[in-house]
């Protein structure tokens, strides 16, 4: 939702601006997005000069789960996609992840967007060079000799505004059939235990669905479980991945397709991740809650980040070589970059498993200027060369 004018969170900052610039309508110039999914307090990550706000479209993306609100701003003609759009981000609350999904949407609609990490970060750079990091995948990479069936349990989450997939095109290009399955097949469990017992009930139900529909992979609209089953799908998806059944969260079809390609070409299980912070020297912080336990050196069970309920996974991964991969929903762009995991961390204002990747400045610029949506897949080992075979 857009933060309202009487929001107590921003009142001191807004009153200060009103005193300094009494003729300027602050809310006409700056749109602020915040999701009810997030229970933590949020605030503007930094101040933007009023003179900049007068002449530019600026959106402060304060939390994840706000992407559909941006689309509504476009529909309401409060945002003009023909003019540059600046997305203010912070290093927490999935702010950056949501901004990358929004930026992908802007680019898909032939617009120009800019992720703004501080008040001086205003220059829109030429991103044509970014195409060197992504390529159109070959038939060898895309096509499976064996027909596959993937389940889509519930529709994709509403905020995945740049992550659509054409079912017929996926079948034609990848030999993969996407099977829609009502989310009620899981939510009919009703309210379960809020700990590991309830998380395992969700796993058992999802595993039964995989068996019943003869699926080789699945993606789950998991946030619907928070208000119905009162637990998360994190454990279920983690266990399925450990068992060799690629499983993605949030109903994200392109990410599930990416996991399938990773498994076929490398045999590796994938960890679905969100970028949380990006530094110009090539340091990128990734975070998410559905980590396959076979990738960890140690782990502990904790609560789901946004809601603070249920069971999620805080795990530590071994330092070393990894590959970051993402296939676009239209199957026209593929990123496969060898990276190095340097350290793990834990902060309460992010998804529970958090890893710092040493990449390159070029990869950082890819995310900040032309990303393939928000979710990416991290696999163990350097395998980028396997994704460029003709």
Residues of the chain with pLDDT under 50: 1-27
d(CA 269, CA 212): 23
DSSP SS3 for 285: strand
pLDDT for res 115: 95
d(CA 104, CA 6): 31
pLDDT for res 1: 34
| 320-331 tens-digit pLDDT | 999 999 999 999
| 352-375 tens-digit pLDDT | 999 999 988 889 989 998 999 999
Q: What is the pTM of this model?
A: 0.91
Distances (CA, A) of 273 to 57, 255, 325: 29, 10, 10
- Closest by CA position to 387, among listed 280, 266, 292, 234: 266
């Amino acid at each position: 939702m857009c933060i309202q004018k009487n929001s107590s969170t921003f009142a001191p900052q807004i009153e200060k601006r009103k005193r300094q610039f009494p003729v300027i309508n602050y809310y006409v110039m700056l749109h602020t997005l915040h999701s009810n999914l997030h229970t933590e307090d949020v605030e503007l990550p930094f101040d933007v000069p009023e003179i900049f706000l007068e002449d530019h479209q600026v959106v402060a993306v304060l939390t994840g789960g706000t992407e559909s609100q941006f689309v509504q701003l476009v529909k309401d003609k409060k945002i003009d996609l023909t003019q540059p759009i600046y997305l203010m981000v912070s290093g927490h609350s999935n702010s950056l992840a949501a901004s990358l999904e929004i930026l992908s949407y802007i680019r898909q609609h032939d617009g120009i967007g800019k992720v703004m990490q501080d008040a001086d970060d205003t220059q829109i750079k030429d991103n044509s060079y970014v195409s060197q990091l992504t390529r159109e995948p070959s038939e060898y990479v895309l096509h499976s000799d064996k027909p596959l069936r993937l389940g889509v349990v519930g529709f994709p989450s509403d905020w995945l505004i740049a992550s659509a997939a054409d079912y017929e095109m996926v079948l034609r290009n990848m030999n993969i059939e996407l099977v829609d399955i009502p989310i009620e097949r899981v939510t009919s469990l009703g309210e379960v235990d809020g700990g590991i017992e309830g998380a395992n009930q969700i796993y058992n139900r999802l595993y039964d669905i995989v068996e019943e529909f003869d699926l080789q992979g699945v993606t789950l609209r998991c946030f619907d479980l928070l208000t119905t089953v009162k637990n998360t799908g994190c454990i279920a998806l983690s266990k399925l991945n450990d068992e060799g059944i690629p499983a993605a969260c949030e109903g994200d079809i392109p990410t599930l397709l990416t996991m399938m390609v990773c498994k076929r070409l490398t045999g590796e299980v994938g960890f679905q991740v969100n970028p949380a912070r990006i530094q110009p020297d090539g340091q990128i912080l990734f975070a998410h809650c559905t980590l396959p336990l076979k990738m960890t050196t140690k782990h502990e069970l904790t609560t789901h980040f946004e809601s603070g309920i249920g069971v999620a996974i805080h795990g530590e991964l071994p330092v070393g070589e990894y590959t970051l991969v993402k296939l676009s929903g239209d199957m026209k762009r593929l990123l496969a970059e060898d990276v190095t995991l340097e350290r793990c961390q834990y902060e309460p204002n992010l998804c529970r498993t958090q890893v710092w990747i040493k990449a390159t400045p070029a990869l950082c610029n890819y995310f900040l200027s032309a990303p393939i949506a928000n979710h990416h897949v991290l696999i163990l080992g350097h395998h980028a060369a396997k994704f460029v075979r003709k």
